[in-house]
């Protein structure tokens, strides 16, 4: 379980506990995308977290 934020000047990986895996992929700007992963690929929405948009999203 980890959140991977990929930026144009580098990458940052954060570790979270739980049964969900979040992959954050975007550029260094206010617009980012947060993908939620369960057993199946879920929609772009997570409770308590603002949904942001990005130009590019990758499934890992």
Tell me how far apart the alpha carbons of residues 51 and 60 are, in angstroms, rounded to a whole number.
Answer: 19
Tell me how far apart the alpha carbons of residues 24 and 34 are, in angstroms, rounded to a whole number.
Answer: 5
Phi, psi of 14 (to 5 degrees): -115, 145
Domain ranges, residue 5: 1-60
Model pLDDT for residues 7-57, shown as the tens digit of each residue: 444 444 443 332 234 444 443 333 344 444 443 334 434 333 333 333 344
Q: In sequence order, what are the residues at sequence separation of 6 or more whose Cβ sits closer than 8 angstroms to the Cβ of residue 56?
A: 25, 26, 27
Per-residue model confidence (pLDDT) at position 5: 47
Per-residue model confidence (pLDDT) at position 26: 40
The number of distinct structural domains making up the chain is 1
User: 27 near 18, Cβ under 8 Å?
Assistant: no
pTM score over 0.85? no
């Amino acid at each position: 379980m980890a959140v991977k934020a990929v930026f144009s000047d580098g990458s940052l990986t954060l570790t979270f506990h739980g049964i969900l895996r979040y992959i954050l992929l975007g550029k260094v700007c206010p617009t980012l995308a947060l993908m939620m992963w369960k057993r199946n690929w879920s929609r772009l929405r997570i409770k308590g977290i603002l949904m942001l948009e990005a130009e590019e999203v990758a499934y890992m």
